[in-house]
A and B are shown apart, each in its own frame.
Chain A
Amino acid sequence: GAGVSQTPSNKVTEKGKYVELRCDPISGHTALYWYRQSLGQGPEFLIYFQGTGAADDSGLPNDRFFAVRPEGSVSTLKIQRTERGDSAVYLCASSNRDRGLYNEQFFGPGTRLTVL
């Protein structure tokens, strides 16, 4: 079946602008995760949803970052007043507690965000 998809694949914006990044998880996956990967680094956890609710948002760096998953499927990561330091690849992953043997996370291709 289809994997995790993310749109757009690339986003260039200007400092101070608002951006939305979208994630479509694997159908039926109840858990959804957002990570941020800066150049030369491993992914860093941002937020985790179980169903519609954010079960852990401890990785969000500040209140400019917000994420929603209103119907328990698609999720949107929203960044207000973007800063140059927000430039990174934003990765989305999903997993299914009921079927995954190890609860492994399946990742999308990421959205490369560039803030000028």
Chain B
Amino acid sequence: AQKITQTQPGMFVQEKEAVTLDCTYDTSDQSYGLFWYKQPSSGEMIFLIYQGSYDEQNATEGRYSLNFQKARKSANLVISASQLGDSAMYFCAMREGPNFGNEKLTFGTGTRLTIIP
């Protein structure tokens, strides 16, 4: 089974609208971390937001928020008031185990987001 599933290969959104990018994950660990990264056409991966499995509140970072539903094993990224510069690939990733234990990230296949002026 895929550890990280992103079911939306591509999305088109009007500028200034909110957008939700879906991510579901699969793990048997109780302790894990979920990350979202942005990859513009330049290729560099940019860290956006993190959610720990024991965090009770949804993470927020500026216009980014993470809709964490632990029972459903989903960690959707919400971008409010989208901007043209948000056009990029977005990857959901998971680290299994405690924060400073197993270090490797497992990534999904990504969602290409295009913001329309």
Q: Is B106 an interface residue (CB 8 A)?
A: yes
Does A31 contact B103, Cβ atoms closer than 8 Å? yes
Given the contacts A103-B99, A104-B50, A33 and B45 also touching, CB distance less than 8 Å: no
Interface segment among A13-21, A41-49, A62-70, A72-80: the answer is A41-49
Taking A102-B99, A109-B43, A109-B44 as contacts, is the C-beta distance between A43 and B109 under 8 angstroms?
no
CB atoms of B47 and A40 under 8 A apart: no
| Tally of chain B residues near chain A (CB < 8 A) | 26
Does B25 have its Cβ within 8 Å of any Cβ on chain A?
no
Listed by A's residue number, 14 A-B pairs whose Cβ atoms lie within 8 Å are A33-B103, A41-B109, A42-B108, A43-B45, A56-B103, A59-B104, A93-B45, A95-B103, A102-B33, A104-B50, A107-B37, A107-B46, A110-B43, A110-B44
State in angstroms the CA–CA spacing of A102 and B66 once bound together. 15
| A104 and chain B: residue at smallest CB distance | B47
Q: Is B91 an interface residue (CB 8 A)?
A: yes
Given A102-B33, A102-B52, A45 contacting B106 (CB threshold 8 A): yes
B105 touches A105 (CB 8 A): yes
CB distance from A35 to the nearest CB of B (A): 8
